[in-house]
Amino acid sequence: MRVDRRRVLLALVGVRTLLGILALPLAPALYREHFVVLVLLRPTKEVLLAGGFLIRHGHVSLLPVLVAAVPLALLGVWLVYAVGRAYADELQNTDAMPAWSRRLLPPDRVNAMCRVLDRRGRLVIVLGRVAAFPSSALAAGAGASDMPPRRFLPADALGALLSVAEVLLAGYFLGAAYKQAGPWVTAIGFLVLAGLLVLLGRRLQQEESST
């Protein structure tokens, strides 16, 4: 029996998404004793920010967090990029995509990201990784717009590495603030960082909505 490669890619994206959702109720149990497992399930900014905090206080080591986070941060988004390339024609026609997959990759949003990428190129990919913005939408847009891998993959890899470093360092220094100046300074630092990421993400959303 012939395997439909496109449906396999789409199913893998679905599984990756479900694992991230599953991590939410498990997070309190995994946070202290099995933090690397939490990273494997959900290598997102908020989890890695907590990772930097835990690294500062000696509850987890840097190397296992990096080994868990970096490959998944790359491969998860690259998988969505591959889906965007495989379903480029269907993403131009909302009804051509399976109903459940339209929730994962809304064609309207993917097409809007295609237009943003046509205007801004690789800079948007890097900024999307650093900001509070869904990298999956950018990756699907890059794939659907037929951006070649030699352009997308290096830009996304740079953005992913910057993003991981950004949140781990932020969590580490917020941990230092907690130890030296108390929880209020830590909370203020977190709010400032979150605000900056959200502002950058909104800037990208404005680019998207203006296309």
pLDDT tens for 106-135 read 666 666 666 667 666 677 788 778 776 677
Q: Which of 122, 161, 149 is CA-nearest to residue 138?
A: 122
Q: What pLDDT, on a 0 to 100 scale, did the predictor assign at position 108? A: 67
Count of the separate structural domains present in the chain: 1
Contact indicator for 198, 132 with CB cutoff of 8 Å: yes
What does the pLDDT read at residue 56? 85
| 189-208 exposure pattern, b = at least 16 Cβ within 10 A, e = fewer | bbeebeeebeebbeebbebb
Cα Dmax for the chain:
64
**Structural domain boundaries, residue 74:** 5-209
- CA separation for the pair 96, 160 (Å, rounded): 31
pLDDT recorded at residue 83: 85
pLDDT the model gives residue 40: 92
State the number of CA atoms in the 13 A half-sphere of 174 facing the CB. 24
pLDDT on residue 11: 83
| Helices and strands (H and E) in the chain: how many | 11, 0
Q: What pLDDT score was predicted for residue 200?
A: 54
Q: What is the pTM of this model?
A: 0.75
Cβ contact 84:6 at 8 Å: no
Burial of 109 (0-12, 13-18, 19+ CB in 10 A): middle
Q: Which residues of the chain have a pLDDT value below 70?
A: 1-3, 91-116, 118-121, 132-133, 175-211
The residue type at 196: L
Closest CA to 52 of 73, 29, 35: 35
Q: Which residues make Cβ contacts (< 8 Å) with residue 74, sequence separation at least 6?
A: 156, 157, 160
